[in-house]
Amino acid sequence: MSRSSIWAAALLVLLAAAAVSCGDDTATDPGDPPAEPIAVSVTRDIPYMTDAQRWGFGGNVLSADSSTVMHRYVPEGEGPWPVVVLLHGGFQNAENMEAPARAIAARGVIVYTPTYLHDLQADAEQVASGLWAGGTTVGDLSCAVRAARADADEHGGVPDHLIVVGYSMGAGFGATVTLVGDDPERTEGTSGDCVVSEGSAVPAAFIGWEGPYDWEMLLGRDFPDTLDLAPEAVRAMSPLTHAELQPGDRAPAFHLRSGDRVWKGVPHADYMDHLAAELTETGWSVTTEVLPGRFHTDFVEAPFIPEMIDLIVEVAYDPSE
């Protein structure tokens, strides 16, 4: 074979490889969301942890049960679809996220709603045992994100388009997972074994609605005994503790939102501004907005918050924005 023939053959191989690569990129791009809401199928109680043991409400040690599973909401159709891990608020579970999860999934997004244990009240025995639910929540939710990423890949989801969305307490924990989900040394460990230990727990973006991002301030006001007993654990679960971290090459953007109506005296807009200022100073991409007339629980009560549903879908389809 002549030298020119060899070069020609090599060029054909390169072109073929490039075509395959372009085809793969197209296949993993969710494109545009559907123009109209579509039907949604639901699968419940998918485990994301095993052998978990934690202190639950009322001072009982709980083993792995409904507190370590998640529900999956999948749009009907072939996809590919972006993915949202939707975190409930305090004293709630995955069932409280049913309605907003369906609303988001109907817009062409696979949604996972993990239930997690999150008791903010601790006593000395709970802290000494290492099973205090608040201390291990960040690690546990990192397990949930990894499990969702792996599961979505088998149901038409695009793992690179996975974002975390948190409501209230879920926003507080979700922001911390976004910052340190892949750095176990910065968390207080997990309460059990992750079903999926491979892959990243860091999402492509984070959206938070009225999160208590300053855990030390919140616990100092409402649960001072916990702050005194477990100061290191409280600091580890607070996103403000980790806002000093430098964003990497694929740093997720933070989209923080709050209403202008105060709920139970909690200054959520102040928490939002505080976290945004700390993250911005370090170089993270942050957007904030206070929505007029919106209340804390509007996020989970129909007709929900159209601006938030739109934001979630927009960011899920294009996390780089």
For the stretch 193-228, pLDDT in tens is: 999 999 999 999 999 999 999 888 888 888 899 999
Q: Is the pLDDT of residue 4 over 70?
A: no
Mean pLDDT, to the nearest integer, of 280-284? 94
Res 67: pLDDT: 73
Report how far residue 72's alpha carbon sits from residue 66's, in angstroms, rounded to the nearest whole number.
14
Residues 65-88 pLDDT 10s: 667 899 999 999 988 999 999 999
Task: State how far the Cα of 294 lies from the Cα of 260, in Å rounded to an integer.
Answer: 6
**Whether the predicted pLDDT of 266 surpasses 70:** yes
Residue 294 located in a structural domain: yes
Whether 49 is in a domain gets the answer yes
Q: Which run of H or E residues covers position 255?
A: strand 253-259
pLDDT at 65: 62
pLDDT recorded at residue 5:
46
User: Is residue 141 domain-resident?
Assistant: yes
Domain limits at 186? 40-317
Distance, in Å, from the CA atom of 168 to the CA atom of 299, rounded to the nearest integer, reads 9
Residue 83: inside a domain: yes
Residues 168-180, mean pLDDT to the nearest whole number: 96
Arithmetic mean of pLDDT over the chain: 87
Asked whether residue 261 is domain-assigned, the answer is yes
Query: In the beta sheet, which residues pair with residue 290?
Result: 258
Mean pLDDT of 263-268: 80
Residues 167-182 have a mean pLDDT of 95
Assess if residue 27 is contained within a domain: no
Percent of the chain with pLDDT over 90: 61
Residues 107 and 73: their CA atoms lie apart, in Å, by 11
CATH number of the domain encompassing residue 80:
3.40.50.1820
Is 282's pLDDT higher than 90? Answer: yes
Going by the DSSP 8-state scheme, the letter that residue 230 receives in this structure is -
Confidence of residue 120 (pLDDT cuts 50, 70, 90): confident
Number of structural domains in the chain: 1
Q: Between 172 and 123, where is the model more confident?
A: 172
Residue 7 within a domain:
no
Q: What is the mean pLDDT of residues 19-33?
A: 59
Q: What is the pLDDT of residue 12?
A: 39
Instruction: Answer whether residue 28 is part of any domain.
Output: no
CA distance 76 to 245: 39
Query: Rounded to two decimals, what is the model's pTM?
Result: 0.89
